[in-house]
Amino acid sequence: MVKKKYLLIFPPEAVEQPVTYRLISDYHLVINILKASVSPGRKGRLTLEIEGEEKNLSRAIAYLNSINVEIKPVIENIRWREEKCVHCTACVPGCPGQCFVVDRKTMRVSFHEEKCVGCKHCLSVCAYGAIEVVEENNAS
């Protein structure tokens, strides 16, 4: 099973097609609509979280390509908001990528984004809103 987020961009001729219905019924995918901007006769944009068997997802992507729906993976990056961080170090021990490093002299935390594996553990740990998810390809 895989779970992925995609931005779907519909050409005007595909906007009125029952695309999400087909993804569910024909490809046995679980669909969670995260964002939608669809108007008849105009380009539409739909951000979906899709869960299902890898082979069914591949078949669904082929179907979307066949009706000229553009598919872009939504990439999630973890962003550290230094200005909100109080350097409490709560995020340090549970991070599998060892992304948060404490300077033992100053006891200040720094973030090393390049080590992040995207597990999102730190989001629930930080009580100060200093860690957030930034999505690419999700503009509406």
DSSP 31-87: EEEEEEE--TTS-EEEEEEEEE-HHHHHHHHHHHHHTT-EEEEPEEEEEE-GGG---
11 near ligand SF4, judged by CB under 6 A: no
86 near ligand SF4, judged by CB under 6 A: yes
97 near ligand SF4, judged by CB under 6 A: yes
Taking the C-alpha atoms of residue 17 and residue 31, their distance in angstroms, rounded to an integer, is 16
Return the residue of 110, 125, 135, 137 that touches ligand SF4, per CB under 6 A.
125
Q: Binding to ligand SF4 (CB under 6 A): which residues in 105-124?
A: 109, 116-122
Binding residues (CB under 6 A) for ligand SF4: these are: 78, 85-91, 95-97, 99-100, 109, 116-122, 125-126, 128, 130-131
